[in-house]
Structure 1
């Protein structure tokens, strides 16, 4: 079985599970897919125990998904998410959304990493602080697809819905870029033996500075090309955007820049300069629909991958124990990362009473953290990070997702 066979299996089950969930379970897609993927993994696990020669886990373990996840899945999902960010629609909520997205991720990363690092030491699990920071950053990424589709079922105020959807779209990109920059800082420290403050600044400048420059260049080139192409030539516009994403990733690697930041920056430029108030200008409406479809499809595949992940993670009690601690730390870190910025901004801005609980509890994790954790093949402690990510994503999707209705009912009662 080749890696393409594995991908074909993921696509097949994604389609089957989406059909079952849409017409029978009728749950939010993230919850329904996670439940079905877990059931599938249990069936495969039992079948593998009965017939070891056909155990799918051996095939899954034998392939390195890092290149596929890093070079394609993450770039596509981050570009698609950034393309959907329209700063004009945010209006007067732009500043709160930017503050919550940027500073919220930083606060959440540090809080989660610190708690994980000391808890790991307490229970006797070896995990460096830089690896804890990487986990704190990647697990801070919320799933905009799951969150947006969940809040659409409730009649929230326009102000709160704008905050939730806007923050969710930016949060994932910032968190993933931060996680991968931290990985590069670790690699630099390993290459030179130890990394100084100036060395850290150099990595940040190299990854973020050059990534921003390359992203701006690709975004400007893409905007000019799409402005020249007629919107009726949908196949040309789609291919141009695909070339921008894939080419940007390749060029970023040549300059040791952050390819994820390139994807995010390019998407933000096209998503804002490429459309007018009616929704499309240089970029045709079909392009936005295409990338929305790509994001939804890959998100579904990653939720199925969460189920298969159960087959490859080490079955160690201490790893799972730390994972369940991480569930609570992730919730606490998210609450702090929302509470602190909102309390600081409350001096000059008004916020609804339920903003903090709704933003905190509505922070469903999705496939992005899973994809990042599986791509960290050369980071010490990767198996532990993968295990903790698996536990946090599953628990938050099921527990928070299934209880989100209760939180929203409390919100309505207070408004």
Structure 2
């Protein structure tokens, strides 16, 4: 099949999943589409037992889609820009210390805890996973993706402060998580820095460089928006920021996700107030809101369908299932310790740790990173573990977030 035919098929399937979900099931779009994609994948796999040519065709078709490439060089920049565009910078600044600590120390702590948990659990399952690869799994599973849960939080009436904390953490921990993963990967492959101190310096340089580049590119875009009044051209300017800005940051070996988030925050706050006419503001924000929705539906549809292309054996399922409690416990600790340290500076309700733990969903970034792992004996096991954790977070954590909020009585008050 040609690239156009593959893209057309995926869009058609995701549209069909969305229609059937709305017509007959009624789950939130992202959850319903992911679930239906997963069901179709399992049906195709089961059919392969009697009609192997069907599975072979489906597998070959899905493998024409380079999931990592689609995420990192297709969707991520635009999704992060769209997400940060709608974040109130004043509210974000009010929670800056919580977000900063969670998106940096929290990510590192989660990486180490997950890595250690998996390293010590693996021998009990008859597996011998090198510690550095367990750390790689910890790094790729650390970034949270709250897209599916934020709508449920709003519907449940959770206080705005918690929404800001979860959103801010997810926007920035994508960048730190990816940089940490790539830094560890460089140590494994020998393509990166040779020592841990040098790796730490590389991590700091990419994060700080991404921030500085994002500020510079963001205000350059702000100037362009301010000096014209044409909503079509201004939308093109923002598209170039989300795509060319992302690519330029990568070429400079800076954190492209962090750079794009900063650009989006500048355009969505200063640009919105000082650089756009009312008509442009309405058109531009409507465009990015729709783009955000459509790209997310496609991404989560792909997550459901991607299992067709994975070489997951029954042997990999038990370690994958064990990864779920390891990741949840690590998430709880990596939320509880920073919040405990910040209680002298900020006020937190008793439910904050529970909600931030259960609301720490994983998504496409984790799968994309897992698929980029180099070949080694336990690669398929880690890919299976990543996929199972992501599916669990979307189908179980996201779907039960609303009931959890109501059960805790956290629909009102400061979170």
The reply to whether TM is greater than 0.5 is: yes
Provide the residue aligned with 1:109 in structure 2.
111
Provide the residue aligned with 2:262 in structure 1.
265
Residue 190 of structure 2 aligns to a residue whose secondary structure is: helix
1:240 equivalent to 2:237? Answer yes
Provide the residue aligned with 2:350 in structure 1.
353
1:369 aligned residue (366, 372, 376): 366
1:288 aligned residue (285, 289, 295): 285
Provide the residue aligned with 1:170 in structure 2.
169
Q: Does the Cα contact within 8 Å between 2:88 and 2:269 map onto a contact in 1?
A: yes
Q: Does the Cα contact within 8 Å between 1:145 and 1:296 map onto a contact in 2?
A: no
Query: Aligned-residue CA RMSD in angstroms?
Result: 3.0
Deviation at 1:360, TM superposition (A): 1.7
Provide the residue aligned with 1:73 in structure 2.
75
Residues 103-182 of structure 1 mapped to structure 2, 5 A cutoff: 103-156=105-158, 158=159, 161-182=160-181
Deviation at 1:207, TM superposition (A): 2.7
Provide the residue aligned with 2:8 in structure 1.
8
Q: Does the Cα contact within 8 Å between 1:227 and 1:283 map onto a contact in 2?
A: no
Deviation at 1:221, TM superposition (A): 1.0
Deviation at 1:328, TM superposition (A): 0.7
1:199 and 1:359, CA in 2 relative to 1: closer, same or farther beyond 3 A? closer
Deviation at 1:225, TM superposition (A): 0.8
1:140-167 superposed Cα distances (whole Å, 9 cap, x missing partner): 33323211111122122x3xx3223442
- Structure 1 runs (4+) deviating above 6 angstroms are 277-283
Q: Does the Cα contact within 8 Å between 1:137 and 1:176 map onto a contact in 2?
A: no
Provide the residue aligned with 1:337 in structure 2.
334
1:204 and 1:414, CA in 2 relative to 1: closer, same or farther beyond 3 A? closer
1:183-210 superposed Cα distances (whole Å, 9 cap, x missing partner): 2442255336972134314422553343
Distance 1:93 1:152 in 2: 18
1:192 and 1:43, CA in 2 relative to 1: closer, same or farther beyond 3 A? closer
Q: Does the Cα contact within 8 Å between 2:92 and 2:164 map onto a contact in 1?
A: no
Residues 188-203 of structure 1 mapped to structure 2, 5 A cutoff: 190-191=189-190, 195-203=194-202
Distance 2:44 2:325 in 1: 29
1:256 equivalent to 2:253? Answer yes
Q: Size of the alignment, in residue pairs? A: 409
1:365 and 1:347, CA in 2 relative to 1: closer, same or farther beyond 3 A? same
Provide the residue aligned with 2:30 in structure 1.
30
With the length of structure 1 as denominator, give the TM-score of the two structures: 0.87
Provide the residue aligned with 1:228 in structure 2.
227
Unaligned runs of 5+ in 1: none
Q: Does the Cα contact within 8 Å between 2:109 and 2:334 map onto a contact in 1?
A: yes
